[in-house]
Structures are given as C-alpha cells and as structure tokens.
Structure 1
C-alpha cells in the first residue's frame, strides 16, 4: 500500500526511511529541502527547494530477483513518471542511475540496503539544475513546469507498477529499460576507480542488472558499480 509523506526539511530522506525499521513497503518520504542529500559514492547532492527529493522503501521477499536489479525498476519508474508529467521531452536512461534530458543530467537515483530493506532515493531537477563538476545538468523547467507535489503521486504509482514487474517479469523489465536507454553499441567511458578508466561499447545488461561492456579486443566485462560517461573520452 502506498503512503506519501511530505516534510519541509530533513537531512536525507534515504537515511530517514532506513532509520524506521517498521516502515512498510510502499512508504514514501519527500522533503522540500535536504541538508544532507547524497548521490552515489557518498557525493553531496544539492537539494534546493523546488526540486524533487524523495525516497521509498522496498522489503525484499524470498524468491525476489537479485536486489541490484532494482535499479532497473527504479529507473524505468522514473522515466515513465517524468514522461507522464512532461510528455515528449527527449528523455533517456543512462546506466546505472541517471536520467538524461538531451545530453544533460536531469535526475539521479540512489539505492541503499539494510538487510531485507532497500531504500530507493530520487533526486530530480524540476526547477533548478545544480552544478556538478565535469557534468552537464538541466532542469525540467526548461521544457515544463512540474512541482514536487504534482510529480509525487505519478512517481509513486509508476514505481509500484515497475516493482511488481520486477518481481513477476524481470526479463521483461530489463527489455523495457533497454528501450528507454542509450542503445546497444553506444561508446562508453567507464570509471571503475579514481585512477582506472575503461573504454568500450554498451553490450546490454546482465541478469543482475550489471552493465555489459564490450572491449575493443573482443572481450566483455561486466560492471556492477562505476561512473559511466557516454562517448569516448
């Protein structure tokens, strides 16, 4: 059952939900502002008023697919919700957790796990596009005016649908994700560590949601966590 809670200000909606051991699946917490928002690899996520900062809880069940592939459900839910709020905006998913508008980052997703609980956090540039070093960013306000309050029920409903699809038809979910993402064959620069970069082309997804990277020598490498840039650097 979905329940959406709004708060004016908090540190991190992900942290708040993880701190509630009895919170049910389908719980959503959305903050007008975050003082301690974060992205992947514990990077700071700037959270100004007018943007969307919200998290929801998934409780893993026996027989569920691998938890890492929840990122695909979250990404697909995100793009479907934004498409519903602002149709025909040229959106694209980028592995592992970004939503692009054109070539610029519009939104990011952060999944965090404690035992059988996974929190999916969404940061969406609705009104403002905070600067990210080395990245192009964009706000949805460049094409449509959408408030966090208006987007919240769309995202909650979309996430509930894709979560059920993840449980019932994970292969179908992956196929739908691929339809909304950078095409197979897209050149990628993959930063697997601060001092290690790999270049190759996108070869699809592994069953656990990992990126399959085709290297120039014909080998294939599976990437489970990395910063990925479209194109060769």
Structure 2
C-alpha cells in the first residue's frame, strides 16, 4: 500500500527514499540551527534538545562520517548543556529536557564526534530519580530511559523504569518482540545480566530495528530511541566501541 503524502513511511525503504527526503530535511535543519546555536552559545540546552533527534537521524540515514562532521561544531556545548540540564532537572520539566540533551550527546558519541560524556554525566542519578516517579511519566519516556540505563550498564535500573516485574533467571535465545519495546528492553536487560552471547540476542535486536519505521510512523519511537537501542546492543551486548555504533547501525538499515 502506498504511503500518503502526509504520513511518515512505515518501511526503511520509505524512510531512505528521495521522495520522503528525511535526510535532506535533516541536513538543512542541522545546518540552519547549528548556525543559530553558535551565534547564541549561552543557551546550550535549548540548542541540543532541539537538535537531538535531527543528529540521530543523520547518524542513521547518512552514516557516521557525515553525522560526525555535523556534530563537531556543537561538541563544545555538550558539557555545559549537561550541567545546565542538571540544574533544570529539579525544576520545570525535569526528565524530558535532561534526557533529550543526553540523547544529543549519545548521538554525538555514536558517530565518534566525542566520547565519555554520557558515562561521566549525572545520567544514572537522573534515571534513579525518574524511577521513583514512574507513575507520573509516560511510557515512551520510560522506555527511552530504560535504554539509557542499559547503555550505562544498569539492567536492574532499566527494569525499574520500564516495569513488568522481576526478570527471568535465564534467557530464551532467539526471541523477537516486534513492536513491544518494553519486552525488548527487558530482554536486553536479561541478556546483560546473564551475559548471553550476541547470537542469542541478535534476533530480538533485528526485530526491533525492522519494526522501528512503523513505531516511528505511529509516534511510538524516535530516532534518538533507535540510537540508544543500537548502543545498548552493539556496545552493551556485542562489545563494539561506542564510536562504531553509528556506522554499524547505518550499515544495518541502509537499503541494498
């Protein structure tokens, strides 16, 4: 069935298509807003939260090299933005702003533009605070926070965030979860706890990737979510360097 002109494509071929033009829009948006950010560097949180999903889409659609070149002018803002987001965390819109800034930093690390900032950030403390207020948060934010916790090597914290009760003591190899993001996060958490081989986990990861375009079209997932998930799998399960996550993800989803 053809996609309507106003709806996001529900396939990878559609997302990469020149007719949809998401990569072109992302390039243009990134260029325009980077110039604005560099002209007003005293509000780094505003800039990086705006550009987080844009940079993540560049990582996925254009590859690590182009995304890295786009991110590098903004890398000096990452640490100040994380500090500023930490101050905001206790006030106006605590979780969403901080996690969105962190998502920009994650995308920058995934394409090799910077390193070590996610692990050095207050992210774990933010997630622990969010885990105490899960009933006040929406599922999409909690699922992203679960992925962030996995990237920090905190599977038990991930489960507190996404819910679903106690993890199983063993992993069933080869499970797939399709559009069930909660199940996917819990499966990765189990895999990390039992140190499962990547071959056992790969079908779950690939089914998440396959279902991503439809989840995105239904506004149940974002580009940033996909890059966090890629880091959780490629770095957390397969053991690849974080700086290679972007190129690994792009190679996986790019149509032949």
TM tier, smaller: under 0.3
Q: Where is the helix percentage greater, Structure 1 or Structure 2?
A: 2
TM-score by structure 2 length? 0.23
Q: Where is the strand percentage greater, Structure 1 or Structure 2?
A: 1
TM-score by structure 1 length? 0.25
